[in-house]
Amino acid sequence: MPPRGKSKKPSRGGGKHFSRGLREQSFGDDAPEGVVVPEGADKESGPWRQRRASVSSSSSEASGSGRDSDSEADDAPRPPPVATANPNRDAPAASSGMPTLSRREREAMQAAAAKERYWKLHEQGKTDQARADLARLAVIRKEREEKARQRKAEMEAKAAEQDAKVHARRR
């Protein structure tokens, strides 16, 4: 037999009913309209009531109708906040003149500086890689010079052969 209602499939697990137990409650002239509170809550219970009351009293004081009990509690002098020193906090950036960098930025700057130092040494030939490169280049230069000498000798030999042929034909 098909389920009744507007859905054609049976619902599993049901829905969430967050606002099932809420009702509208009027608090008189000082509360905003449409305030919804839980069913079992009293007017004076809970810290959210105190916040709502202080907000509504400050708004009603601005409109001209304030409650004396709340205004006396709000006007009471409060002690200044206690200044605590956090040893893990960095020193302020203004004292050093430079902004403090994050660990990632500081490591990136150190890596860039190390890379620059390495390439300066590399250009001077003081690193192991530079020495190996220079040795390899020296071997390549020798091979190229040897091949150039061989080509030059072959060209001279060919030129000598051609001269010999030309002289042989003339005779």
pLDDT < 50 positions in the chain: 65-67
pLDDT attached to residue 66: 46
pLDDT attached to residue 77: 79
pLDDT attached to residue 75: 72
pLDDT attached to residue 98: 66
pLDDT attached to residue 84: 79
pLDDT attached to residue 106: 93
Distance CA 118, CA 130 (A): 10
Distance CA 59, CA 74 (A): 13
pLDDT attached to residue 118: 94
